Structure 1
Amino acid sequence: MFELIFFASFAVFFSFMCSLFEAALYSVPIGHIESLAKTGSVSGRLLKKFRENVDVPIAGILSLNTIAHTGGAALAGAAAAEVLG
């Protein structure tokens, strides 16, 4: 039963984190990113790089989300079959 709860929680946690990263990437205004980059902030430079070609980080986030869902569903399904028969 522990494995079933663990794998289901694993899938939900990674889905939550991917949604959080995606929302954070899209929600920061360009003006704020520019001001951070001008001050020499590492986060500003990194966000500016991500937003210049936003398709690349979004593709990575969504790929990780898909892998987490598929793996979590497969592992939780196997654990459920073992526990519930």
Structure 2
Amino acid sequence: MPDTNGSFQLSSLVAMGLAAAALMASEVLKAFATGLVEGQRALNGEAVTKRATPAHFWAFVSMFGVGFVAFVWFAIHFAGYMFGLWNWPV
């Protein structure tokens, strides 16, 4: 008999992950379009201009990529252990 409560929890986890991914994707697309992330500041607190952005922008993109891979890894393992997917032992 399927565990409907577990299925609901897994669906909620997936929905939260998709919402977070959509939010991050919108920020990345905005950064690609404008060259800036809204409110981006240099280490000294000054607003970052387009001339100063490439290094900051690519650092942001690489951190986003690493964070995304880490989140996917965590979500797969969390689902596997918590909801008994793939018959992984708890």
| SS, match of residue 26 in structure 1 | helix
- Whether 2:39 is the aligned partner of 1:43: answer yes
- Percent sequence identity over aligned pairs: 7
Q: Which runs of 4+ in 1 moved over 3 A?
A: 46-50
For structure 2, list consecutive stretches of 5 or more residues without a partner in the other structure. 1-5, 41-46
Provide the aligned C-alpha RMSD in A.
3.1
Contact (CA 8 Å) 1:22, 1:58: kept in 2 or not? yes
- Corresponding pairs, count: 72
Q: Note the alpha carbon deviations across 1:19-72, whole angstroms, 9 max, x for none.
A: 1121111011x5xx6xxxxxxxx8372464872312111111112211221111
TM-score by length of 2: 0.56
- Whether 2:66 is the aligned partner of 1:69: answer no
For structure 1, list consecutive stretches of 5 or more residues without a partner in the other structure. 34-41
Relative CO higher for 1 or 2, CA cutoff 8 Å, sep ≥ 6?
1
Task: Select the structure that is richer in helix.
Answer: 1
